[in-house]
Homo-oligomer: A and B are copies of this chain.
């Protein structure tokens, strides 16, 4: 797939016409990050916007004691790194490739140009940030109100909607994150994830085998 065809399908750029897409494609450059490579390091200055073409990355914050909170996992079509572009502050989180990932990168100056020439982009970006803000608000709600079991369940459901595939039994998450990663996404510990998954499986809510988790359809629950 050419870059242009790809860019056309990125929601941020859907308002651009062929000519504008070509112009955008011209100022964009590609880079491939292999698994575990750091793409963005928190605290550093940043003047690049990233568009994820292929692969998957995790956005996370690491505390001084080394504990990690995963804010989100992003897949193809996602845009990230724009906050520093918008407010000029240093990067607020780390972004690491969790599999081989191909990124299109756009420098601030070109991005500013782009917004100047096609203001619809600003509108699209505003909508994008609005969506994200709603999502983080829900995360805060979950962390503040729910117990671990519910938080882990929510994390699974979110994974399922974002990257699950429908099967006869329910929705399957192929290549699930490790327990440690699930823990960092749910604000808990590895052991607890282990225990909770075990219990959920015992109760017939989910089915684990290898890197695969299936969230069973409601009508198969033991209740």
Given contacts A140-B136, A145-B63, contact A126 B123 (CB under 8 A): no
Report the separation of the CA atoms of residues A122 and B61 in the bound assembly, to the nearest whole angstrom: 28
Q: Which of B61, B127, B131, B133 contacts A132 (CB 8 A)?
A: B133
Q: Are B71 and A140 in contact (CB under 8 A)?
A: yes
Q: Are A140 and B69 in contact (CB under 8 A)?
A: yes
Interface string of A72-91 (1 = CB under 8 A from B): 00000000001100110100
Q: Which of B71, B89, B129, B139 contacts A129 (CB 8 A)?
A: B129
A86 — which chain B residues lie within 8 A by C-beta? 123, 126-127, 129-130
User: Taking the complex as formed, is A137 at the interface, i.e. its CB lies under 8 A from any CB of chain B?
Assistant: yes
Interface string of A173-208 (1 = CB under 8 A from B): 000000000001001000000000000000000000
Q: Are A93 and B137 in contact (CB under 8 A)?
A: yes
User: Taking the complex as formed, is A1 at the interface, i.e. its CB lies under 8 A from any CB of chain B?
Assistant: no
Closest CB in chain B relative to A85 CB, distance in Å = 8
Q: Which of A19-76 contact B (CB under 8 A)?
A: 61, 63, 67, 69, 71
User: Taking the complex as formed, is A153 at the interface, i.e. its CB lies under 8 A from any CB of chain B?
Assistant: no
Given pairs A71-B140, A87-B134, A89-B134, 13 additional interface contacts (CB within 8 A): A63-B145, A83-B130, A115-B123, A119-B119, A122-B123, A129-B129, A129-B130, A136-B136, A136-B137, A136-B140, A143-B144, A144-B184, A145-B187
Return 22 A-B CB contacts under 8 Å, by A number: A61-B137, A61-B141, A63-B145, A69-B140, A69-B145, A83-B130, A83-B133, A86-B127, A86-B129, A86-B130, A87-B134, A92-B137, A115-B123, A126-B126, A129-B133, A132-B133, A133-B133, A133-B136, A136-B136, A136-B137, A140-B140, A144-B187
